[in-house]
Structure 1
Amino acid sequence: MEINDTNFVAQLQKKNRRALEFVMETYGNLVYSIVRKVLQAGFGDSDVEECLNDVFLSVWNNMASFDESKGNFKSWIAAVSKYKAIDYRRKLSKRDSVEWATDRELSAELTPENILVSKETRKELLAAIRDMNDQDREIFIRRYFLAEDIENIARTFSVDRNVVDQRLSRGRKFLKEKLVAKGERL
């Protein structure tokens, strides 16, 4: 079946993938310009691309909520794009502030003096890490020893990024308490 301006909405509601391709080709520039405008300074092309994917996924998943009697598809997808981009900007701003603080704390700890940690301190650190629960330990090791991206860790464990951030924060707090209790200076 040929997808065109007259039947794409009905086909999209029937979950026809070609209708989604039609929407992406027809409205892609509009969606891009809206998302780009909302995610102006400080957001890279990969952030914009990810938000675009979220917009089209949202269109795909929420076609049942589109009502032609309330307005045309172009206005609807423009509104979806705008609000998805605003939500995405909030999410990224929150994530970046958490990540920036964490990275700043870690880089402050990576001075030449701190890199030369004694064998005893290393042993105590590893012992404290072993005392963490299995999932927290795995997340902590992947992030801080293997330098794995938080998004990848979240996908691996099938959890939201915020869950990973919380577990990392809890892990840092746990290690700090353990090491302070043993008399280590942090």
Structure 2
Amino acid sequence: MTNKELADMLQSSPAECHRALVKEYGRYVYAIVYNKLRGCGTNEDIEECVSDVFADIFIKFEYNEKYTDDIKAYIGTVAKHKAIDRFRSLIAANSHTVYADEDDMGELVSDFSMNEHIESSEMRRVLLDKIDQLGEPDSTILIQKFYYNRNSNEIAKSISMTAVAVRARCSRAMSKLRTLLLEAGITG
């Protein structure tokens, strides 16, 4: 579908245009959104984001005669931006904030050590780097299991594997990770 075809169809029958657009580009948009949200979102989050992409296309689409080519690039860009925005909002919603009383704050401040904080941050950075070195799907499995506390069934659904395969991959990935951490001089 070209830019002009979309504009013409949108003028003649918006409902028909919507059906044709979803039929032609639905899987493409879903693939983009799924790849951005698979590590942090549920299937409902992914489907809602796909719907938001098509809604955004209809609300903001403006025909421009300079662009008569296929609109796939435009749709892909909208899908990518919407998925990134949704990813950020999901991450922000999943981060937990703990509020303490003023009495507790004195204990926290006195126990806080800048050196420990720096060492902890460096350790997290190295750990995430080593997990990333494992490659897919091992890195995704470990991140979802240990950072998002998801079980094997939830992980299996999000990465299209069986729960048994996820458990086996997780076990092997943990062995590889231990080796990588030992090589980096980190023992636990």
TM-score interval, smaller chain: 0.3 to 0.5
State the structure with bigger RCO (CA 8 A, min sep 6), 1 or 2. 2
Tell me the TM-score normalized by structure 2: 0.46
